[in-house]
Amino acid sequence: MSRTRGSPGVVALSANGEQRENLHVSSHYHVLEVLEAVARTAPMEHLPDLIARVEALKARLYARLTSANSPSAAIRDRLLNVKEAAQKLRRSSDWLYRHGSELPFVVREGRLLRFSEQGIEEYIRRRMTH
């Protein structure tokens, strides 16, 4: 499934060269229903890539949510490797791998872990206030 930008508030989706469907942002629930159907019916060999893409999308959504409503801040987000994230969090790389499934700022690319820098910063801010 690929995405192209058209007029504001409209996303054009296409899958495997099929006809594009223009979806208004207000119809995002339809997109979720389509993702649910894909999750149920996709061939097993495609699931790792699908999971990685959904995790990347999740990280971008978290980054947008935590960017203090600044649309350009989400664009400035950067994905860190394990070593960079470990330094920022003052944890070991092993700790990050063990707890990767519990952390909201993790982006999985197959077996590879990446970390949203803005997500980490928000995680640290939240931990400091509790």
Q: Which residue has the higher pLDDT, 43 or 53?
A: 43
Q: Residue 79 carries which side chain, given as an amino acid letter?
A: L
Quick: pLDDT tens for 52-92: 888 878 887 877 777 665 555 556 788 999 999 999 999 99
* Beta-bridge mates of residue 89: none
pTM of the model: 0.45
Exposed (0-12), middle (13-18) or buried (19+): which is 16, by Cβ within 10 Å? exposed
* 21 or 70, greater pLDDT: 70
* Ranges of each domain in the chain: 1-41, 43-130
pLDDT of the residue at 80: 94
What gap in Å lies between CA 57 and CA 1, rounded to an integer? 13
What values do phi and psi take at 3, rounded to 5? -130, 135
